[in-house]
Amino acid sequence: MFDKLYKSKIQAVILPNYSYNDEDFLYSSLRRLTAERNGRHITVYGMPILYDSDKIEFDYYHSLNINVVMSDFVDQDFGTIREFRRNFLNMYGEIPTSEAIKAYDLILFLGRNLWKYGRNFQNYLENDEQTYLQSIYEIKKAKSDDSPIADDPTKFDYFENKHLDIIEFKGNKWQKKN
């Protein structure tokens, strides 16, 4: 990979590793990319491990313009999130965690759809994208890789939220990319 960095006009590198077992490999790759990029602008795209890892140093976020694909990023500085945090603090005397914000969105999603469609609401959501405090739900039918019904397009194994955000490190914080 790195020998091609000298000879070509690579502008983006995709690191698809997801497992924490790959954390050392990712750190080494980012370290080497930083050292061998020769001043060129390179963007690195990766999975949530790049966001969550304790091994990846702050300098890599800026020098490699790291972008992370996530399904559940909470931007603490977003207007509705700030208001929610203030109201939560006033009501419960504690600052809400990201999990509390995600849970709030999930309960709203379930409650509104149960009210609107009834107990089998999942059958009505496929063409209905919904946005809450920070979550966007784009529910689609999905099949397992090893599913015996893989050949039948009308059958599926489960429903899945297909929405993903790309976040980037800008200034001194992570934010959703427009």
**Do 84 and 154 fall into the same domain?**
yes
**Residues 148, 85 within the same domain:** yes
Expressed as residue numbers, the domain containing 34 is 2-71+168-176
**Helical H runs in the chain?**
2-7, 23-36, 49-52, 58-63, 79-92, 98-117
Residues 123-174 pLDDT 10s: 888 877 788 888 888 888 888 777 666 566 677 888 888 888 899 988 888 8
Same domain? 10 vs 65 = yes
pLDDT at residue 64 above 80?
yes
- Examine the domain organization and report whether 67 and 117 are in the same domain: no
pTM of the model: 0.75
CB atoms within 10 A of CB 105: 21
Instruction: Kindly state whether residues 87 and 156 are assigned to the same domain.
Output: yes
User: Are 59 and 103 contained in the same domain?
Assistant: no
Q: Are 45 and 91 in a shared domain?
A: no
| Beta partners for residue 44, in sequence order | 13, 66
pLDDT of residue 134: 84
Q: Name the domain count of the chain.
A: 2
User: Does residue 90 share a domain with residue 62?
Assistant: no
Confidence of residue 108 (pLDDT cuts 50, 70, 90): very high
**Closest to 161 (Cα-Cα) out of 116, 117, 105, 114:** 105
Do 98 and 143 lie in a common domain?
yes
Residue from 79, 40, 44 nearest 61 by CA? 44
| 83 and 142 co-located in one domain | yes
Same domain, 107 and 125: yes
